[in-house]
Amino acid sequence: MLAFINANLIDGTGAAAIRGATVIVDGKNIAAVSAAAGAERGVVAGATVDAVAGMSAGAASGEAKGLTAGAAAGMTAGAVVGSAAPVPDGATVIDLKGKTLLPAFSDAHTHFGGTDLLSRPGLRGRDGTYDYALNSAVNIDWGVTTVRSAGDYVPDIISFRDDIAGKELRAPRILTAGRMFVAKGGHPLYTVYSADEGIRDNACVVCDERTDIDAEVEKLACLGVDWIKAFLSTANKMDYPNTVPRLTRETLRKITDSAHKRGKPVMLHVENAADVEEAIELGVDSVEHLIGVGAVDCVFSDDLIKKAARSATYFVPTLSGIKAHDGMLEGAEPVYPRLENAVKKMADAGVKFGVGCDSGIPFLPYGECVHTEMELFVSAGFTPTETLRMATSGNAKLFRLDSAIGVIQPGKLADIVVLDANPLEDIRNTRKIALVVKEGRIVADRMLSQT
């Protein structure tokens, strides 16, 4: 059991921060949350050095890092709890005076088997990524404990997702779409992935007029995917400004209807304003990117924005992904300023956003890009409070996991980040990570082991 005391608490709901808060973690869950009472009372934690060692013995398999006897003593000696909630006997008390506690972050758009390096294959499975080792570790180290995979190798990503949950690996929990529905000759398989046979055979459903869409969706549903992913794009970023075939509207309708019939939400890659309007009309659950690099149809009309606001759809603009590649296509006009403007107008209209990066593509490092994404949302006019809410409880609602994660409340899973500085004062302070807790286990530590 862990007792975080004297924390500056940002609970993820968008409410004002609470100073001097206490958060009790029991097992995998948050047991209690309370603000400081008017009177302080001294409480000495009952955790022994042996108990702390037991908490951290599994560090190699993804549990908390080992703490020394000195660190344990530093955590427990003379701790004062200014809280209405009592600290249970035997709890390990961690004093967070001067630090901020908030829900762990999430990435709503990743390709978990990808890479940010041009020197590596664009997408691979468990064998080709050393069991996703690097991508798992860096996400956790950056405080990202949940990701949504927007296209990866099958069955690899599904079996790894299940291993994370069943074996408590040091990795973020994963929701995955598995194979991506793409047009024959279309993006991204025949453009950025250069018709790679491994990606074709393991990560794509290549569609033409003969494809039985309902059967293909059924296969993925039976495998246990969480989402269905499709592409609406004619962009050819490898041969700009020439275009490639796209999935027809009828095919996209079949994909959407087949997925919804099986209780699976749909995420749709788009490149421009017309694509966004088509996505809304199709009734997809999540629209990815909004404006792609090289797009020319970048004006979001007032009517389109009203349609977006009235819809149940979430929009994931992947600001960091677009910004990282903007200007790289010879002959293409920059699109990032137009994307930022569209996001501002949509925010003013009440459109729902997700915080996702497109991590797993070049120049976009896993984990860290979530912090870049949050900074770009703030630059686009969102407050730090709004941005942190979107990256925590907002994404949890998009993921349909809001009953379990996204806020610091009793009964929720204890996915927690502790920061050395207050992100409400400067959103860049989200990078100053002291501790990461996933389901009650300390999985990254730059604080206690330094005591």
Nearest CA-CA partner of 149 in 258, 224, 255, 62: 224
pLDDT at 449: 87
Structure tokens at 80: 């004062």
In 10 A of CB 433, how many CB atoms? 21
Structure tokens at 121: 């294959």
Q: Are 13 and 407 in contact (CB under 8 A)?
A: yes
pLDDT, tens only, 381-390: 999 999 999 9
pLDDT at 37: 62
CATH code linked to domain 2-103+406-450: 2.30.40.10
Cα 98 to the center of its chain, rounded Å:
27
pLDDT at 36: 76
pLDDT at 407: 98
Where exactly are the structural domains of the chain? 2-103+406-450, 105-399
Is CATH 3.20.20.140 what the domain over 105-399 is classified as, yes or no? yes
Give pTM, 2 decimals.
Answer: 0.89
pLDDT at 86: 83
Distance in angstroms (rounded) separating the CA atoms of residues 435 and 190: 42
pLDDT at 324: 97
Distance in angstroms (rounded) separating the CA atoms of residues 328 and 400: 36
pLDDT at 380: 97
Nearest CA-CA partner of 195 in 239, 259, 256: 239
- Phi, psi at residue 80, to the nearest 5°? -115, 125
pLDDT at 75: 32
- Using 70 as the pLDDT threshold, list the residues of the chain that sit under it: 37-84, 451
Q: Are 188 and 182 in contact (CB under 8 A)?
A: yes
pLDDT at 12: 98
Please write down the HEC assignment for all residues of the chain. CEEEEEEEECCCCCCCCEEEEEEEEECCEEEEEECCCCCCEECCCCCCHHHHHHHHCCHHHCCCCCCCHHHHHHHHCCCEECCCCCCCCCCEEEECCCCEEEECEEEEEECCCCCCCCCCCCCCCCCCCCCCHHHHHHHHHCCEEEEEECCCCCCHHHHHHHHHHHHCCCCCEEEECCCEEEECCCCCCCCCCCCCHHHHHHHEEEECCCCCHHHHHHHHHHHCCCCEEEECCCECCCCCCCECCCCCHHHHHHHHHHHHHCCCCEEEECCCHHHHHHHHHHCCCEEECCCCCCCCCCCCCHHHHHHHHHCCCEEECCHHHHHHHCCCCCCCCCCHHHHHHHHHHHHHCCCEECCCCCECECCCCCCHHHHHHHHHHHHCCCCHHHHHHHHHHHHHHHHCCCCCCCCCCCCCECCEEEECCCCCCCHHHHHCEEEEEECCEEEEECCHHHC
